[in-house]
């Protein structure tokens, strides 16, 4: 018997696949469940996990290695601007990235019993299409380091895929990568801006970018024209007037004045 509580807050939605993975130990499943319960932008460290798990640093490191081996965890060594290695960043995956191991069981030659239920078949096909569409956009999300898989992110991606094509959702994430802002909130702001501007295709995006560049160049040209100083005509004629004026011989004038004073 299991006694549950009403889920109103302080709960997390997880895919149960990793809990049924027979390759994982109970400790690995527990640690993975804990890591997946944290926010997407959570920064993990071995020291912090060792304290929280109360298993010790060495035991926690072994559990992390188990998750890495099973494809649920990726450890990336960061590099600084000087090329030297820095800290370690962990990327957590709710679904294993490990390739599925082909089954060695000989398939049965008997015809399987077919379930004649059109409604069920249609629903299964729809679920499959939705999952593949979401996974493609989500895989890009994970591969580019935006964060880990959560039900919240999956629902957000699924929502925008009902409004835009998958190529547009991925393109919005590419723009976030180019601007080095790996946050879903930033991606969603791009998508919302397209929605407000009634942009519906990649062609519309290209046209909008061309218009933006044209406006930018126009503003730049206008600013340069305003900064250019107009030289007044009187300033240009100044040198000509100075040349036309007779040159005064101050020494000769002085002698004239002295001679006039002596004569008096």
Q: Which CATH number fits domain 150-231: 1.10.10, 1.10.3470, 1.10.8, 3.30.70?
A: 1.10.10
The pLDDT-based confidence of 114 (bands split at 50, 70, 90) is very low
pLDDT (average), residues 124-146: 65
Structure confidence by residue, pLDDT tens digits, 216-260: 777 766 665 565 555 556 555 665 555 555 666 767 777 777 777
Q: Say if residues 36 and 148 touch (Cβ distance below 8 Å).
A: yes
The closest of 20, 27, 80 to 55, measured between CA atoms, is 27
Looking at every residue in the chain, the average pLDDT score rounds to: 76
- The answer as to CATH 3.40.50.300 being correct for domain 11-98 is no
pTM of the model: 0.39
Q: Does residue 180 surpass a pLDDT of 80?
A: yes
The pLDDT-based confidence of 29 (bands split at 50, 70, 90) is very high
Portions of the chain given CATH number 1.10.10.10: 11-98
What was the pLDDT predicted at 219?
A: 72
Q: Round to whole Å and give the CA distance between 251 and 150.
A: 97
């Amino acid at each position: 018997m299991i006694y549950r509580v009403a889920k109103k807050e302080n709960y997390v939605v997880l895919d149960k696949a990793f809990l049924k993975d027979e390759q994982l130990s109970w400790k690995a499943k527990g640690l993975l469940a804990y890591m997946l319960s944290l926010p997407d932008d959570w920064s993990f460290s071995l020291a912090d996990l060792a304290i929280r798990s109360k298993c010790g640093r060495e035991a926690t490191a072994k559990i992390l290695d188990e998750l890495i081996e099973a494809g649920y965890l990726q450890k990336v060594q960061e590099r600084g601007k000087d090329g030297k290695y820095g800290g370690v960043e962990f990327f957590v995956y709710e679904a294993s990235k490990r390739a599925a191991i082909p089954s060695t069981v000989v398939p049965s030659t008997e015809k399987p019993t077919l379930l004649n239920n059109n409604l069920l078949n249609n629903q299964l096909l729809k679920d499959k299409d939705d999952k593949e569409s979401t996974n493609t956009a989500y895989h890009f999300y994970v591969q580019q380091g935006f964060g880990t898989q959560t039900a919240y992110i999956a629902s957000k991606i699924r929502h925008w895929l009902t409004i835009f094509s998958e190529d547009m959702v991925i393109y919005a994430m590419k723009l976030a990568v180019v601007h080095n802002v790996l946050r879903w909130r930033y991606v969603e702001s791009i998508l919302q801006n397209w929605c407000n501007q009634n942009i519906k295709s990649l062609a519309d995006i290209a046209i909008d970018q061309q218009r933006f560049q044209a406006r930018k160049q126009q503003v730049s040209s206008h600013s340069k024209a305003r900064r250019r100083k107009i030289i007044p005509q009187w300033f240009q004629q100044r040198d000509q007037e100075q040349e036309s004026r007779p040159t005064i011989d101050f020494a000769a004038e002085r002698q004239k004045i002295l001679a006039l004073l002596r004569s008096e």
